[in-house]
Structure 1
Amino acid sequence: MNSPTAISSSPKSLAVGVFVFLLVAAGSASAEPGCLETATQIPSPSRALAMATFAQQEHQAFGAQTMDAEGRLTYAGAWEAENFRATAQDLAPWQRVLGYWQATGVRLRGTDPDAALDSSEPQSIDNALSRVAVIDAPWSAAFISWIAQRAGLGNDEFVFSEAHADYAGAAWKAGLDEAANRPTRYAMRACDLMRTPPRVGDLVCQARGAGSGYDTFERIGEVLAQRPTGGEALPMHCDVVVGVDAAGFDTIGGNVIQSVTLRRLAFAPGTRLLDRSYLPEGCTAGATGTTGMAGCTDRHMSRQPWSLLLQWR
């Protein structure tokens, strides 16, 4: 993804830039007290817990692939195109992924229940082509959309999409509506992950790749505040929080190392906030909360530009 382009110096562009800055700043400042109050005083609602439960069930169905707090793969589960089944009655991983896609409304091969098989095409070939479609299409947002749908969320409460940026953008705008005392039925608001403790059922998100330029809450917010649903691609990834304790929290995400994967993330010592060593710059000398390379834990595959918490309202 290209780095953010600089705003030109024309009066019109400067006016737009100032407006967006004020919009993001106002949303961040006004949402933060609500984010912290909700995180520390309000239990996760029942549908948030349901999302976490459905994610845990899918994690087990995929063979329980797991990453430890240092971002290392400690247990390998089944991958997306495998024919693995825990029992004879279970769906194979590739069939489960096709099911996730149905929540998005995108018709991937094998997801249309009304489509009749070509009588000249053997079942084995149809299955093989469906498995190829699963491999070729990133499905992490479809997974989140599916568990949200299973938890009972409606179209006015969640944007079911193949793009994380669509439902994250709707959460950002819901926070702005709250700040302006406008009514909204959307289930989540956007909060700063580095300042807000997560709860079970919340979503933790990142822009894909440390070089994307959208590596902070404010920077990704600038894009989400302007981007319409279905707009320009903004590569992201989100996991759902499935457990929280004094030392950290567990998340589950789809299409993480080609599976439904549980990831452990640690809190900074003495806090309920994500340790900054997970950020791309987390182990550089002078970074807040670290002591440079010598005192920093390497987070390997979990070192990502984490920035966004989608919090149940």
Structure 2
Amino acid sequence: MTSFFKLFSAATLILGLGSIILYPHVNTAQPSNNTFQQKVAENAIQEWISFNAPNRPVVRSQADVALLEREPLEYRKCQTINRYWAVVPVNQSGDNKPPSGDSCKLNIPPTPQGKGQIGKWNEYPWSAAFISYIMQKSGAGNQFKYSGRHATYIVDSVKNRDTQNYPFRGYPIDQKEPEIGDLICAPRGSSKDLVYDKILQEGDFTSHCDIVVAKNDNKNIEVIGGNVGDTVSKTIVLLNSKGYIQKTDSHSDFRPWFVVIKNTLRP
């Protein structure tokens, strides 16, 4: 196993919708050194564990493309997601960002037990805010394009892929192997059939990115992202014999990954 630290020992595999693997044991061993890429992975893992607490964190062997059921989010989780949104500049949020203030209290307040429907707040996708939060927390400074839309930093990385020393450069999945701290991205929704060569032409599109947190013997990678099944979730992504992400299409049960954003930042 080539991940910078070994986190889990698998105990149970539940086959079904989403193919969820539960890992009850968490090893808190620290990474051997402290590069920015390792900080990104470590912060993503910590957020994954804390967001799901006190429940066991889950790993999906498939993306959430087939998930049909949406659970009401707890009030404290809404407050956590407000923290993610706080790092997104107003001019980079588009129509995605919730209203200012305590958006957790919109429409329907939580019950005394801290549970209940969140109201309109739940209508704002927050996966790009999660990525932005992890990058900022890890020390990216002004080197990352913080945004409420993944397309902002996908387009920037593709546009600058041939710019020497640019910290985030985007490549087709069959040209670069994903490593710890990189981002991998896929189109979704109305843009689900978008291909790499059309990214700059499209400019803005619906998409999703996850953070690579582990690489296992060049067979698969473990990635963490926000707003996956209404939580912070880890997904197993298969690699082909060359170490590249295995290609899928928009009609499969897996995300149609199309970009690897190489993270070479040295703050």
Task: Tell me the TM-score normalized by structure 2.
Answer: 0.69
Specify which of 140, 145, 148 is matched with residue 153 of structure 1.
140
**4+ aligned runs moved over 2 Å, structure 1:** 70-73, 105-109, 121-125, 127-134, 209-213, 219-223, 278-281
Cα–Cα, structure 1 residues 80 and 235, in superposed 2: closer, same or farther, change >3 Å? farther
Letter matched to residue 309 of structure 1: V
Specify which of 241, 250, 265 is matched with residue 237 of structure 2.
265
Cα–Cα, structure 1 residues 67 and 210, in superposed 2: closer, same or farther, change >3 Å? farther
Partner of 1:49: 38
Specify which of 170, 181, 196 is matched with residue 201 of structure 1.
181
Q: Considering only aligned residues, what root-mean-square deviation do their CA atoms show, in Å?
A: 3.4
CA distance in structure 2 between the aligned counterparts of 1:279 and 1:244, rounded to whole angstroms: 22
Report if the CA contact (8 A) 2:64-2:228 is conserved. Answer: no
Question: What is the CA distance between 1:208 and its match in structure 2?
Answer: 0.8
Specify which of 250, 255, 259 is matched with residue 308 of structure 1.
259
Question: What is the CA distance between 1:275 and its match in structure 2?
Answer: 1.9
Question: What is the CA distance between 1:175 and its match in structure 2?
Answer: 1.7
Report if the CA contact (8 A) 1:213-1:219 is conserved. Answer: no
Secondary structure at 1:141 match in 2:
helix
Where in structure 2 are the equivalents of 1:199-278 lying within 5 Å? Answer: 199-209=179-189, 212-214=192-194, 216-223=195-202, 227=203, 233-246=204-217, 247-268=219-240, 270-276=241-247, 278=248
Secondary structure at 1:145 match in 2:
helix
Partner of 1:295: none
Letter matched to residue 131 of structure 1: I
Where in structure 2 are the equivalents of 1:135-174 lying within 5 Å? Answer: 135-155=122-142, 157-174=143-160
Report if the CA contact (8 A) 1:97-1:134 is conserved. Answer: no
CA distance in structure 2 between the aligned counterparts of 1:130 and 1:102, rounded to whole angstroms: 22
Cα–Cα, structure 1 residues 213 and 267, in superposed 2: closer, same or farther, change >3 Å? closer
Offset from partner CA, 1:166-211 (integer Å, 9 cap, x none)? 1112212222433xxxxx6x52001111221100010000111486
Question: What is the CA distance between 1:133 and its match in structure 2?
Answer: 4.3
- Point out the structure with max Rg over C-alpha: 1
Cα–Cα, structure 1 residues 52 and 133, in superposed 2: closer, same or farther, change >3 Å? farther
CA distance in structure 1 between the aligned counterparts of 2:163 and 2:176, rounded to whole angstroms: 19
Cα–Cα, structure 1 residues 130 and 105, in superposed 2: closer, same or farther, change >3 Å? farther
Gaps in structure 1 of 5+ consecutive residues: 1-43, 84-91, 179-183, 228-232, 282-298
Count, aligned residues = 213
CA distance in structure 2 between the aligned counterparts of 1:166 and 1:252, rounded to whole angstroms: 19
Q: Equivalent pairs: percent with the same residue?
A: 24
CA distance in structure 1 between the aligned counterparts of 2:151 and 2:157, rounded to whole angstroms: 10
Secondary structure at 2:160 match in 1:
helix
Specify which of 74, 81, 90 is matched with residue 97 of structure 1.
81
Report if the CA contact (8 A) 2:41-2:212 is conserved. Answer: yes
Report if the CA contact (8 A) 1:242-1:252 is conserved. Answer: yes
Question: What is the CA distance between 1:254 and its match in structure 2?
Answer: 0.4
CA distance in structure 2 between the aligned counterparts of 1:160 and 1:124, rounded to whole angstroms: 30
Report if the CA contact (8 A) 2:88-2:148 is conserved. Answer: yes
Q: Which has the higher helix share?
A: 1
Task: Tell me the TM-score normalized by structure 1.
Answer: 0.59
Specify which of 78, 84, 98 is matched with residue 108 of structure 1.
98
CA distance in structure 2 between the aligned counterparts of 1:47 and 1:145, rounded to whole angstroms: 14
